Structure 1
């Protein structure tokens, strides 16, 4: 298990993470620290604990919004998959109808060709 030190709100914290996850955890800590800096810029020095709680709520709000958008996109993808399946089925039916029509037309053409090649009087002979 790896150990790293991150700085949040001017304080250093030693944290453990899985091997190979150091960069990810460091980036997450930087992002959270950025949220605190943003709030400090908006509200000034209102206390470390309050800034940290507000940043936590702000980041959680962003997460909830992303989850909502993801759920909406997943629903849209499901709808598009259903529409695609329906379109493919319509295409399959249309192709079958066209093939049936072409086969029927070919039979009629063959019958006409046969009649033209062998008029009624010649067929009896």
Structure 2
């Protein structure tokens, strides 16, 4: 199992990860480091643990917001699919009605043709 070293808040950590996930873990660690640096810039020296907790809450909030947006998008996709299905069903009904109308018209024309031919 690969191991990498990441730096968060000027402290280094050795971490294990799955094969091929090294770059991803480094990116995540850099994001956490960035959040902690941002918080330290806003609040000053308020303690490592408090900064870490605040960074975790910020990350969790972003995750929550992303999940909420994903649910909204999924609901919209589902609604669009239902609308499309209803529209397709309506189109099929209209096609069937049109075909029946054409059949009736063709039958009427055949009756008229038969009468005209019989009278001639």
Q: TM-score, normalised by structure 1?
A: 0.89
CA distance in 1 between counterparts of 2:102 and 2:5 reads 74
C-alpha RMSD of matched pairs (Å): 1.3
For structure 1, which runs of at least 5 residues remain unmatched after alignment?
Answer: none
What's the TM-score, normalizing by structure 2? 0.92
Whether 2:2 is the aligned partner of 1:2: answer: yes
Counterpart secondary structure, 2:30: helix
Residue segments in structure 2 that go unaligned for 5+ positions in a row: none
| SS in structure 1 of the partner of residue 5 of structure 2 | strand
Deviation (angstroms), 1:29: 0.7
Q: Deviations over 1:2-49 (max 9, x none)?
A: 101111111110000000011111111111111112112211222211
Q: How does 1:7-86 map to 2 (within 5 A)?
A: 7-86=7-86
Secondary structure in 2 matching 1:13: strand
Rg comparison, structure with higher value: 1
Q: CA deviation at 1:115?
A: 2.7
Correspondence for 1:97:
97
Partners of 2:17 and 2:97 in 1: CA distance: 62
Tell me the CA shift for residue 110 of structure 1: 2.2
Cα-to-partner distance string for 1:52-110 (whole Å, 9 max, x where unaligned): 11000110011111111111211121111111111111111111111111111111122
Equivalent residue pairs, number: 120
